[in-house]
A and B are shown apart, each in its own frame.
Chain A
Amino acid sequence: MPQSSINLGVVDYAILLVYFVFVLGIGFALKRTMKGSKDFFLSGQSIPAWVTGLAFLSANLGAQEVIGMAASGAKYGIMTSHFYWVGAIPAMVFLAIFMMPFYYGSKARSVPEYLKLRFDEKTRGFNAISFAAMTIFSSGISLHALAKLLETLVHWDYWTCIAVSALIVLVYIFLGGLTSAIYNEVLQFFMIVMGFAPLVYLGLRDVGGWSALKEKLIPVATSQGYAAGTWTHSWAQMGSPIENPMGIGWFGMVMGLGFVLSFGYWCTDFLVVQRAMAADSMSAARRTPLIAAVPKMLFPALVILPGMIAIALNHQTGGTLLPPAADGTPDYNMVIPTLLAKYLPTGLLGIGFTALMASFMSGMAGNVTAFNTVWTYDIYQSYIAPGKSDQHYLWMGRWATVVGILVSVGAAFLASQFNNIMDMLQLVFGFVNAPLFATFLLGMFWKRATGHGAFFGLLGGTLAAVIFHGMALTKGCVPGIKGGWLHPTFLYQSEMGQNFWMAIVAWTACFLLTIVISLATVRTKSDAELKGLVYSLTPKPESENEPWFKRPAIIGILVLLGAGALNIIFR
């Protein structure tokens, strides 16, 4: 029988308890450093680069990454690495070299505030409100996913899980603000590495090493009608969407995932950018995404490889490793829990299990810290109560944390009751997010882009995404929430393919509209006002007097070469 539950021993509970004590202890120890709002929301810009770098990586290492990437590893094999070596890495390098100088160098305290300085109030308002709503719902989804997983795995009560994890996150952010979140994210990074490395080692040893794994993945591919090497080659089957399980061709993948979505996420999402903005100097802020990029490049070994191992073993044993999902296919989301239960004896099991819980909790904490900053600076201070004392905003930030977490719990409740609401919300967020990078790109590199251009370009891009969604459908789906509700004109092999193309369409619409509207409207910001906000009007940041290993351009090139090499090795 497939194992779908974990038996924790006394030692494992002790390990989990020690972790909670440390997480809360960090919050208490940082309490006295929180003197003003800048300490609470931006860590007083005092954190060294290696800490912000690991936190930058960890903030994204939530439930979706750990459980989801392992699931994709089983479902698609090593093609999942495109999310890393084509998606994340180039975007992180671009952020470090070209965009960080504007975020850190301008007086902006958040990404929406940059939009206010660069464009105008309405562009900021649109971005701030949609971002605040999105982060808080993501935090709720993460909470729900954690509680559900624990309910199945260790049979804890759903609402007790929600209450305990929400309370722990609440306490440590309430006390220590962003610094607390960042420190705990670094702790979580090491937990994940310590917990998953033995898992991968034992799994790989069990299948008989890499070459035996490749051998065993051949029947996995052929039994589903794909070419023999599909699961172990990232590029070989990318010629057309019907050749690979992801259902996407190389162009849609490179443009949709590699360019539009990844740059949109890594370069503009305040959740990650906030970590870099907390660094102690411009140079450290620019190195943050680069320091994150090095482990990020290697993470497929920890999160994708387990999925490949699990599916190989599952196939070999006639489908008895992974528990079946509702539709009869293996439940890919159970890859990590199944392997934890299979290989790790009590003791190490505690470390792996704690790592899993830590990633869910810090995923939630990341969303909450981004939310309380955007809420306090971009919504509360801008529209509700301007001109109050700094202590007042610090107070607001603390209470925004409480309210944010309560709303997250509410969102988790919604998710547990109505599955469709969450699908619907994620769809709407997708519409809003897809065009965003065009606005930032034009804002940072074209001084002629105007506020009206940016705002209506964004609206137009979002609208384009909505219309495209009404006209596109994945093969085998009914028109409705999956798309095609206007008229299914474009058919896709997979929902992922449909999503990537929606992003391309939305981005292009936003890009063109912003240019046209900007040219048709009058500039409202002079060159002097745009200094520090636009590339051509900003002095280049000095890095010549730093040693070579601290210069962003040089590390950036090395990181790109590394990602290039990995793409070639696993092509």
Chain B
Amino acid sequence: MNFDLRLPLGILFSIYGLILVATGATASPAMINQSLGINMNLCWGIFQLLFGATMLGLALRKK
């Protein structure tokens, strides 16, 4: 049987979410300026973390 694809998807985007949130939390003013004054790393990192967690949740619930 193949494994559930949502498992690697969930892990991958949780890792990426964490990396982005960490980068965003320590962002320099230059980095925030580059993305038009929005801390995009932080915002998009949180979104990816949520997406990753949802995928993980769905994959684990089935077992």
Q: Number of B interface residues, CB 8 Å?
A: 28
- Are the C-beta atoms of B8 and A187 separated by less than 8 Å? yes
Contacting pair B8 A347 (CB below 8 A)? no
Verify B19–A22 contact, CB threshold 8 A.
no
A58 CB to closest chain B CB (Å) equals 13
Q: Are B8 and A198 in contact (CB under 8 A)?
A: no
A392 at the interface (CB under 8 A from B): no
Nearest to B30 among chain A residues (CB) is A345
Cβ distance A51 to chain B, nearest Cβ, rounded Å = 6
Main SS of the interface on chain B? helix
Instruction: Please tell me if A406 contacts chain B, counting CB pairs below 8 Å.
Output: no
Whether A179 and B35, one on each chain, are in contact in the complex, defined by CB atoms closer than 8 angstroms, is no
> A527 — which chain B residues lie within 8 A by C-beta?
none
Q: Is the CB of B36 within 8 A of A51?
A: no
Q: Counting CB contacts under 8 A, is A26 at the interface?
A: yes
- B36 A202 Cβ-Cβ under 8 A: yes
> Closest approach, in angstroms, between the C-beta of B18 and any C-beta of chain A?
11
Q: Check if B19 sits within 8 Å of A15, measured CB to CB.
A: yes
B1-23: contact bitstring with A at CB < 8 Å (1 yes, 0 no)? 11101001101110110011001
Nearest chain B CB to A309 CB, angstrom units: 13
Interface mask (A1-35 → B, CB under 8 Å = 1, otherwise 0): 00000000001001100110010011001100100
**Known pairs A194-B16, A345-B23 / 11 extra A-B pairs, C-beta < 8 Å:** A18-B19, A22-B11, A43-B2, A46-B1, A187-B12, A194-B48, A343-B35, A345-B32, A347-B27, A347-B31, A351-B20
1/0 per residue A44-87: CB within 8 Å of B? 00110001000000000000000000000000000000000000
Question: Which residue of chain A has its CB nearest to the CB of B45?
Answer: A347
Complex alpha-carbon distance, A22 and B38, angstroms: 30
| Residue of B2, B3, B40 with highest tally of chain A CB at under 10 A | B2
Residue A238 CB within 8 A of the other chain: no
Residues of B whose CB lies within 8 Å of any CB of A are 1-3, 5, 8-9, 11-13, 15-16, 19-20, 23-24, 27, 31-32, 34-36, 38, 40-41, 44-45, 48, 51
Bound complex: CA of A345 vs CA of B26, how far in Å? 12
Q: Which of B2, B11, B51 has a CB less than 8 Å from the CB of A179?
A: B2
Let me know if A351 and B16 touch, CB within 8 A: yes
CB proximity of B21 to chain A, nearest CB, Å:
9
Q: Which residues of B contact A183 (CB under 8 A)?
A: 5, 8
Chain A, residue nearest B37 (CB): A205
CB-based nearest A residue for B34: A345
Given A22-B12, A348-B20, also A205-B48 (CB < 8 A): no
Question: Which A residues, 335 to 366, have Cβ-Cβ distances below 8 Å to chain B?
Answer: 342-348, 350-351
Q: Min CB distance, A240 to chain B, in Å?
A: 41
Chain A binding site: helix, strand, loop or mixed by DSSP?
helix
> Is A206 part of the binding interface, using a Cβ–Cβ cutoff of 8 Å?
yes
CB distance from B3 to the nearest CB of A (A): 6
Residues of B within 8 A of A89 (CB): none
**Could you tell me how many residues of chain A have their Cβ less than 8 Å away from some Cβ of chain B?**
34
Chain A residues, Cβ within 8 Å of B41? 345, 347-348
- Chain B positions within 8 Å of A15 at CB level: 16, 19
Check A186 against B35 for contact (C-beta < 8 Å): no
Q: How far is the CB of B23 from chain A (nearest CB, A)?
A: 4
Residue in contact with B23 in the complex, picked from A18, A25, A346, CB distance below 8 Å: A346
Q: Does A399 contact B (CB under 8 A)?
A: no
Complex CA distance for A51 and B5, rounded to whole angstroms: 8
**Smallest CB separation, B2 vs chain A (Å):** 6
Distance (whole angstroms) from the CB of B55 to the closest CB of chain A: 9
Chain A's closest residue to B17 (CB) is A194
Q: Are B2 and A30 in contact (CB under 8 A)?
A: yes
* A11→B2 contact, CB < 8 A: no
What are the nearest 10 A-B pairs in CB distance? A347-B23, A345-B31, A347-B41, A345-B34, A198-B44, A347-B20, A22-B12, A11-B23, A183-B5, A345-B35
Q: Which residues in chain A, 226-270, are within 8 Å of chain B measured between CB atoms? A: none
| Residue in chain A with minimal CB distance to B20 | A347
A43 to chain B: which residues have CB within 8 Å? Answer: 2
For the complex, what is the distance from the CA of A29 to the CA of B36, rounded to whole Å? 42
